[in-house]
A and B are shown apart, each in its own frame.
Chain A
Amino acid sequence: MSDEPLLRVSALSKFYGSRVGCENVTFDLWPGEVLAVVGESGSGKTTLLNCLSTRLLPSSGTATYRMRDGQFRELYRMSEADRRFLMRTDWGFVHQNPADGLRMTVSAGANVGERLMAVGDRHYGKIRATAVDWLSRVEIDEDRIDDEPRSFSGGMRQRLQIARNLVTGPRLVFMDEPTGGLDVSVQARLLDLLRGLVTDLGLAAIVVTHDLAVARLLSQRMMVMKDGRVVESGLTDRVLDDPRAPYTQLLVSSILQV
């Protein structure tokens, strides 16, 4: 365990005109830690995720990231090219809709291999072998490697998107509702897979979800957002078992028992 955080976020705000996207969000994320951001739609959790992953620029506030060489760099002061490089190599972004994170008209193997080529891998045999290895890690049969993701089921597409993101060995992965829109049985398989990969690879992750069960299974820490602000944060099991903020109590009490 490192003694320094991977990501430091301080007083981050994003306004859309006079509307609040997210306001005054502050937290640190350490290597290997999974942080869940929960709240209902419109609470600002996706705005926050997009700001953190530099897909959006915030109105104010800072986020500093510890690069592989140990230097902290301020994300919003990096050049566009540097940010893109970070996004391609050290970060991953898993979209709710796999079509947003995959290239639907090239083969599954190429989807995984493309990220490897982006970090400078050129040896075809090696790239293909790595792709095969990653497809099996996300439980996709090797004989589907030349198929396009268009022909995959929703759950398979999501697993392919995960393989594409993790193949470069990122240290930080952003996930936006990674199990949204999937059947519960498919969801359980995906969650278990994600949980295993995150532990084995020691990934840090920020997972946006409205599903508290997903948050409980994947994360150690949690932030609850409402109207763009963080209303409660802490250990995931503490927040869920002893919710303190009125809004968190409402969320927890609204879970359907099975």
Chain B
Amino acid sequence: MATPLVVSDVAKSFTMHLRDGIKLPVVAGVSFSIRSGECAVLGGPSGAGKSSILKMLYGNYAVDAGQIIVQHEDGLIDLATASPRTVLAVRRLTIGYVSQFLRTVPRVSALDVVAEPLVERGEDREVARNKARALLAQLNLPEKLWMLPPATFSGGEQQRVNIARGFITEHPILLLDEPTASLDASNRDVVIALIAAKKAAGVALLGIFHDHDVREAVADRVIDVTAFAAGKTAA
């Protein structure tokens, strides 16, 4: 099996310049890899650095040290040192991300929020919208909401829009930050089915799931983040 994502010896800390430059170590020595067709889960208590790891993999947090090697188009790229332009291309084509919260844009409808990542990849807008409709229906989002901007939706409705947006493309790597946190049981099952379909399609998935049932259902293995606690490894 292909291994499209290899993380080696990654470290992250925050330097708080407004508080006399104190340094908050987050993680160090982070090393793991994800194969195509598997779903790995980051495990560990809150504050262990699970979200920080996902954000580094998406280029949203800077990396202090180490490498994040991603198979992008026909080559390998180190995301830890890639230029902003390269990171944008990786996000468009290679790494998808479902965040915990939807960042809404005024006046853009839920349907277009979901269709946007496909349009950015060059898909025809109507084709993208049709796919978006199918996904929103699968996630049981009431049709009367589709043409409304999601800013006023409930937490669970927003999260379903966010999930549809993340799952609509065929990115070979997909990062999931608690995608089921505010969903009811039936919609959780839909997400589990969507994840299973991605696995079958050969996507490499890495996620954070606090929900025990979801984790049991989707995880092929658990990566224990407490092993990467900063300070545990020789700095």
Which A residues lie at the B interface, using CB under 8 A? 1, 30, 33, 188-189, 191-192, 195, 217, 220-221, 234-235, 237-238, 241-242, 244-246, 249-250, 253
Task: Report chain B residues within 8 Å CB of A220.
Answer: 84, 88
Indicate which residue in B14, B59, B106 contacts A188 across the interface (CB closer than 8 Å): B106
Query: What is the total number of residues of chain B having a CB less than 8 Å from a CB of chain A?
Result: 19
Q: Are A246 and B84 in contact (CB under 8 A)?
A: no
Task: Report chain A residues within 8 Å CB of B17.
Answer: 245-246, 249-250
A210 CB to nearest chain B CB (Å): 19
Task: Determine whether B153 belongs to the interface, using a CB cutoff of 8 Å to chain A.
Answer: no
A249 to B20, CA, bound (A): 12
Residue of B nearest to A33 (CB): B85
Q: Are B18 and A238 in contact (CB under 8 A)?
A: no
Residue of A nearest to B108 (CB): A192
Q: Are A242 and B62 in contact (CB under 8 A)?
A: yes
A1 to B59, CA, bound (A): 21
Q: Offer 21 A-B interface pairs, CB within 8 angstroms, sorted by A.
A: A1-B89, A33-B85, A188-B106, A189-B106, A189-B107, A192-B106, A217-B105, A220-B88, A221-B84, A221-B85, A234-B84, A235-B84, A235-B87, A238-B59, A238-B61, A241-B55, A242-B55, A242-B60, A244-B15, A246-B18, A249-B16
B126 CB to nearest chain A CB (Å): 15
Residue of A nearest to B84 (CB): A235
Instruction: Encode contact with A along B88-122: 1 for CB under 8 Å, 0 otherwise.
Output: 11000000000000000111100000000000000
Q: Are A192 and B107 in contact (CB under 8 A)?
A: yes
A65 to B106, CA, bound (A): 34
Instruction: Encode contact with A along B12-39: 1 for CB under 8 Å, 0 otherwise.
Output: 0011111000000000000000000000
Indicate which residue in A191, A235, A241 contacts B88 across the interface (CB closer than 8 Å): A235
A173 CB to nearest chain B CB (Å): 19
Q: Are A191 and B18 in contact (CB under 8 A)?
A: no
A79 to B62, CA, bound (A): 43
On whether A195 and B105 interact (CB within 8 A), knowing A238-B60, A244-B15, A249-B18, the answer reads: yes
Instruction: Encode contact with A along B67-92: 1 for CB under 8 Å, 0 otherwise.
Output: 00000000000000000110111000
Most chain A C-beta atoms within 10 Å of own C-beta, residue among B14, B85, B88: B85
A232 CB to nearest chain B CB (Å): 10
A217 to B16, CA, bound (A): 26
Task: Report chain A residues within 8 Å CB of B84.
Answer: 220-221, 234-235, 238
Q: Are B18 and A235 in contact (CB under 8 A)?
A: no
Residue of A nearest to B92 (CB): A1
Indicate which residue in A191, A241, A249 contacts B106 across the interface (CB closer than 8 Å): A191
Task: Report chain A residues within 8 Å CB of B105.
Answer: 192, 195, 217
Task: Report chain A residues within 8 Å CB of B106.
Answer: 188-189, 191-192
Residue of B nearest to A245 (CB): B17
A110 to B108, CA, bound (A): 31
Indicate which residue in B55, B59, B62 contacts A244 across the interface (CB closer than 8 Å): B62
Q: Are A242 and B107 in contact (CB under 8 A)?
A: no
A217 to B107, CA, bound (A): 13
Task: Report chain A residues within 8 Å CB of B15.
Answer: 244
Given A195-B105, A217-B105, A235-B60, 11 other A-B contacts at CB below 8 A?
A30-B85, A192-B108, A234-B84, A235-B59, A238-B61, A238-B62, A241-B60, A242-B60, A244-B62, A246-B18, A253-B18
Residue of A nearest to B82 (CB): A235
A165 CB to nearest chain B CB (Å): 21
A170 to B89, CA, bound (A): 24
B100 CB to nearest chain A CB (Å): 13
A139 CB to nearest chain B CB (Å): 11
A244 to B62, CA, bound (A): 9
Q: Which 9 A-B pairs have the closest CB atoms?
A: A246-B17, A188-B106, A192-B107, A235-B84, A242-B61, A249-B17, A192-B106, A221-B84, A242-B62
A218 CB to nearest chain B CB (Å): 10
A172 to B11, CA, bound (A): 39
Task: Report chain B residues within 8 Å CB of A234.
Answer: 62, 84
A229 to B100, CA, bound (A): 35
B225 CB to nearest chain A CB (Å): 18
A38 to B2, CA, bound (A): 42
A242 to B16, CA, bound (A): 11
B204 CB to nearest chain A CB (Å): 22
A223 to B151, CA, bound (A): 28
Residue of A nearest to B19 (CB): A249
A191 to B104, CA, bound (A): 13
A30 to B85, CA, bound (A): 9
